[in-house]
Structure 1
Amino acid sequence: MASGRFAPGHLGELTQQVPFEMVDAVLVDTGAVQARVRDLPSRVVVYLLLAAALFTDLGYRQVWCRLVAGLDALAVAAPTSSALAQARRRVGDKPLAALFRLLAGPPAGATRWRGLLVCAIDGTSMFLPDSALNLAVYPRQAGTHGGSGYPMLRLVAVVTCGTRTLIDAVFTPISVGELGCATRLLGCLQPGMLLLADRGFAARQTIDQFAATGADLLIRDKDDRRLPMIRRCSDGSWLSTIGAMTVRVIDAEIIVTLDGQRHVGRYRLLTTLTDHRAFPASDLVTLYHQRWEIETCYLELKSTTLGGRVLRARTPAGISQEVYALLTAYQALRLAMTDATASQPTTSPDRASFTIALHAARDQIIHAAGVIADTTIDLVGAIGRAVLADPLPPRRTRVSPRVVKRAISKHRAKGTIDRTNYQATFKVNIITTAGLTTDPPP
């Protein structure tokens, strides 16, 4: 452990992902180092905030109790809730933002698809405490259902699909659209990436901005968008233009067979991968399913970690601090999980249980275990061993209805819906002639 007043400043085994030196460096860079050595040094406060992002059902006083539970032999402070609140305000949100920027990015040796790092971009929303200060920055969401009961923020992230690690993320008031947030994420895109996105990101200007970064794109488009056909490729896809940019268009029919019944869906994908021999259309349609990895990432953040709860902070500055702490803790945990699965090349990252890793990380915090690495560095550690000892079963081919399971209003519930997950078989047909809605080339 660190000595003296710094002893409670740790994150259990995850301290190896967020070491003392890293926290001290961001505190210096952001001017948040304490003017004098207090009972709550700034480094300790940062770790308190990160631990709180893993114990989201507890108040900060109870989180503190867990940080010091394994330090019985040391004389540690017993701050009041008021003292903890003052310490959090003193540190502010800049060190947490800087810490997230340091950890964000794909892990070393991340799996690539045909030489490309497959990533996805999408947005989600979070609820905030209903305080006057929060409402001044984060409005409620309006709608025919009467609007949201709490202020809301919009979070948009770029995620590595293979490991669900965060490459970058931004959050804004809910009144800012996803496309507005996406422009603030252009800096994390670069050549060698393949970015997957849904139809909401298929605007011409957004496509141009994404492509200008050098990253390749695979974006779903509206089926009835009128595009000029330049040339048909041998795999059934065809070349077109959006503005001055050449893109490849893939029209596909997805046939799902379950419980003896066939369901047919239509997909149109746009991609900057114009070489149909190196990147066949059927392979790209199958790969596009990886976009759902970002939805699983948001599930782990909002449902598994937060437990569907409203965030804690009652001020915009506190919200910023809390969200950056949540993203940093999530990234640290994901990196630990990636180290574990990378130690066994035959184990897919998909089989690593986030829930098991989260509980193992919490246990290590309570026991103050594994804070500093031994002379022989163990990249797996207790968290990794817990994940590898109880892997998830291989993914099944199945479908589940995309419906609202908890209606905002009981008077607008959708009635009886079959929510059973059925095992299914899939078939992809590339549409080559029928149903094309195109304009002739200029």
Structure 2
Amino acid sequence: MDTKSVITRTIAVAGGRYAPGHLGELTQHLSFEMVDEALTATKTTQSRLRDLPSRVVVYLVLAACLFPEVGYLGVWRKLTAGLTGLACATPSAGGLGQARHRVGAAPLRWLFDLLRGPAAILGQHGTWWRGLLVCAIDGTTLTIPDNPRLLARFTKQRGNHGGTGYPQIRLVALLACGTRTLLDAVFGPTTSGETTYTPRLLRSLRAGMILLADRNFGAAKLLAQIAATSADLLVRLKNGRTMPVLARYPDGSYLSILSGLRVRVIECEITIATSAGRRTGLYRLTTTLLDPHAYPAAELIRLYHERWEIETAYLELKSSILGGRVLRARTPVGVEQEVYALLVIYQLLRTAITDAVITRPGTDPDRASFTIAWHTARDQLVQASGVIADTAIDLVGTIGRHVLANLMPARRLRVCPRIVKRAISKYQARGSNIDRTSYKATVSVEILTPTDP
């Protein structure tokens, strides 16, 4: 005889017209009270109760970042899919657009300022080094729709292997390595470079941090501004720059000066060997950590590799979340609203991951899968699960349990050619003779002792 199983569940959401305003389990990291405070602080709370209250609209904009593959009406259906039995509004696409315009970008920016921070795990690999919080700074670009309203403010980039058919915005972020949580971020037209945006991020640097950056950030004036925040720095310099040798240290580094800033310089040769061959590069690193005994040169060279954590974060934002898609927004204010929403969603996911990893002492945060956290958060939103926390607080949650149950292997040292895997246009493809193999690698480092200039 056939048997049937019946599954019943109870969901707890906000009442009445506020019910669709949630993010599933992520709502526990971004509560109703936090969103209401953002609306109050930015004076964007609705003047009268509507079918789409401002709080619901904020959650709609955030939820859209979890589902970039569907339109806003599709996102609304996902927000209400788990609310069976509740009377929910049935807005039109135009109604959702008007509601997003009414709320604007200010409350999303307020929420990002509230949530940004290191979420650091004390003692974890890649997060702290010799008592300093390891941070990185770098920039990337996001592609936006091609229309006259956006082109009036944003431009298409020239060059870069033929340029792009879409306008872009530049995003520059300050990241806590290890947990990959955002400390701060700014964005705007690509007509300004990364170093032009960087001074706006210095408000988030302080003593007890060490900032990692590539050669693009090695300008003397900018390094002096970073040092003035009392944060330490470890920045790669261009090899052709002349640096005076004021004193030599036993570890191979030397004391120098850069436009009045006393720095320590480490010059080294790094060789990567694989079964396909060897490649050697020259690196010149500069740091404000002047004591060679407390901060050995060999350790600083290894530490600099942690700068790549910000590249991984951009991959998670642009590939895992956006899937390489163009942003939805078609107005400058809409772009600002959407980018802040993306940053908030990214930070919420990273916070959920960190809360899970911290329960497993000794677990490298690198082993936590961002993709699994993202997919689980999407599922929880559709089911409207975990919107309101139970009396007994679950610090890990469903998202965290999925992450911990599917930890990735410890990271191995591998290298892969830096090429486009899939050309956007077949006419720009280079053919099938490109080596796309990932190779196991070994690294050797030799600290160089330059002659006095």
Q: Tell me the residue number matched to 2:77.
A: 65
Could you tell me which amino acid in structure 2 is paired with residue 32 of structure 1? T
Could you tell me which amino acid in structure 2 is paired with residue 148 of structure 1? T
| 1:68-122: CA deviation from partner (whole Å, max 9, x where unpaired) | 1110021111111111000000000000000011000111545411110001000
Residue 407 of structure 1 deviates from its aligned partner by 4.6
CA 1:306–1:430 in 2, change beyond 3 Å: closer, same or farther?
same
Are 1:140 and 2:128 counterparts? no
Residue 372 of structure 1 deviates from its aligned partner by 1.1
Q: Tell me the residue number matched to 1:430.
A: 447
Distance 1:143 1:394 in 2: 38
Q: Tell me the residue number matched to 1:14.
A: 26
Does the CA contact (< 8 Å) of 1:217 and 1:272 recur in 2?
Answer: yes
| 1:138-189: CA deviation from partner (whole Å, max 9, x where unpaired) | 1111127543200110000001111110100001101110011101111011
Q: Tell me the residue number matched to 1:325.
A: 341
CA 1:388–1:432 in 2, change beyond 3 Å: closer, same or farther?
same
Q: Tell me the residue number matched to 1:173.
A: 189
Q: Tell me the residue number matched to 1:86.
A: 98
CA 1:406–1:426 in 2, change beyond 3 Å: closer, same or farther?
same
Q: Tell me the residue number matched to 1:127.
A: 143
Q: Tell me the residue number matched to 1:49.
A: 61
Could you tell me which amino acid in structure 2 is paired with residue 246 of structure 1? R
Alignment length, in residue pairs? 436
Q: Tell me the residue number matched to 1:116.
A: 132
Residue 243 of structure 1 deviates from its aligned partner by 1.2
Moved over 4 A (4+): 406-415
Q: Tell me the residue number matched to 2:8.
A: none
Does the CA contact (< 8 Å) of 2:120 and 2:176 recur in 1?
Answer: no
Distance 1:31 1:178 in 2: 32
Show structure 2 runs of 5+ residues with no match.
Answer: 1-12
Q: Tell me the residue number matched to 1:27.
A: 39
Secondary structure of the structure 1 residue equivalent to 2:173: strand
Distance 2:425 2:80 in 1: 43
Residue 265 of structure 1 deviates from its aligned partner by 1.5
Are 1:107 and 2:119 counterparts? yes
Residue 256 of structure 1 deviates from its aligned partner by 1.4
1:370-381 maps to which residues of 2 (within 5 A)?
Answer: 370-381=386-397
Could you tell me which amino acid in structure 2 is paired with residue 431 of structure 1? L
Identity %: 60
Secondary structure of the structure 2 residue equivalent to 1:139: coil
Q: Tell me the residue number matched to 1:417.
A: 434
Q: Tell me the residue number matched to 1:388.
A: 404
| 1:281-328: CA deviation from partner (whole Å, max 9, x where unpaired) | 110000110000000000000011000000001100000000000000
Q: Tell me the residue number matched to 2:51.
A: 39
Distance 2:353 2:151 in 1: 37
Q: Tell me the residue number matched to 1:247.
A: 263
TM-score by length of 2: 0.94
Secondary structure of the structure 1 residue equivalent to 2:141: strand
Could you tell me which amino acid in structure 1 is paired with residue 79 of structure 2? L
Distance 2:427 2:192 in 1: 29
Q: Tell me the residue number matched to 1:74.
A: 86
Does the CA contact (< 8 Å) of 2:120 and 2:179 recur in 1?
Answer: no
Does the CA contact (< 8 Å) of 2:234 and 2:288 recur in 1?
Answer: yes
TM-score by length of 1: 0.96
| 1:9-64: CA deviation from partner (whole Å, max 9, x where unpaired) | 00000001111110000100000000001000000000001100111111010001
Distance 1:252 1:412 in 2: 37
Could you tell me which amino acid in structure 2 is paired with residue 354 of structure 1? F
